[in-house]
Amino acid sequence: SGYLIGSQEANRAPLPPKAELAWWYQFYFATERGHAGYEANRHDFNKLIWRLASPKWNFDDATFDRSAESFKNPDHVAVVIHNYRWRLGLVKGEPQYDELEARLAKGPTISVPTITMEGDANGAPHPEPAAYAKKFTGKYQHRNVDGGIGHNLPQEAPKAFADAIVDVARL
């Protein structure tokens, strides 16, 4: 639900324009130009996405470059492009997961203790917590993290993130 796009959601009505705009790169990746552009510019492309998703996070080059090492994996571009094309229903997923995908498409409830979190400056597309709160039938909390925190909670708010991991066991 919300702004998450999966293979089963490709046939649903379009999202509001603001949400579609925020996913611009999904549509770009659906093209061969997008594939070539990501292959040629993956470092700068991901740095742009980091800045858009966490507009108030003033990470330095060293912080980004530590994560950017993973973009050098020879399978990285193929996996990313396939994932975004799959989300839009443009390519098939792995057949061994079809049954699991069908079960997940039904939107089952989640009964394990859960804490969801949202930064107050998240620039990535995301639904309001009320849109998904009823999915959790077990002990559940939602935490808003203030202070200009964007999409990358583990790096932008490591203490709040670690506290939630420890606290979920206490729910």
Quick: pLDDT tens for 115-141. Answer: 999 999 999 988 899 999 999 999 999
Domain total in the chain = 2
**Of 84, 103, 122, which residue sits at a domain end?**
103
3-class DSSP state of 20: helix
- 1 falls within a domain: no
How much is the pTM?
A: 0.84
Nearest to 7 by CA among 82, 113, 110, 119: 82
Q: What rounded mean pLDDT belongs to the chain? A: 91
Q: Is the domain of 39 the same as that of 123?
A: no
Q: Is the domain of 31 the same as that of 47?
A: yes
For 157-167, the pLDDT digits (tens) are 999 999 999 99
Structure tokens belonging to residue 77: 């571009």
- 134 falls within a domain: yes
Q: Is the domain of 38 the same as that of 61?
A: yes
**Of 49, 77, 103, which residue sits at a domain end?**
103
Q: Is the domain of 96 the same as that of 132?
A: no
Cβ 19 vs Cβ 3: under 8 Å: yes
Whole-number pLDDT of residue 148: 98
Whole-number pLDDT of residue 7: 42
* Boundaries of domain holding 158: 109-168
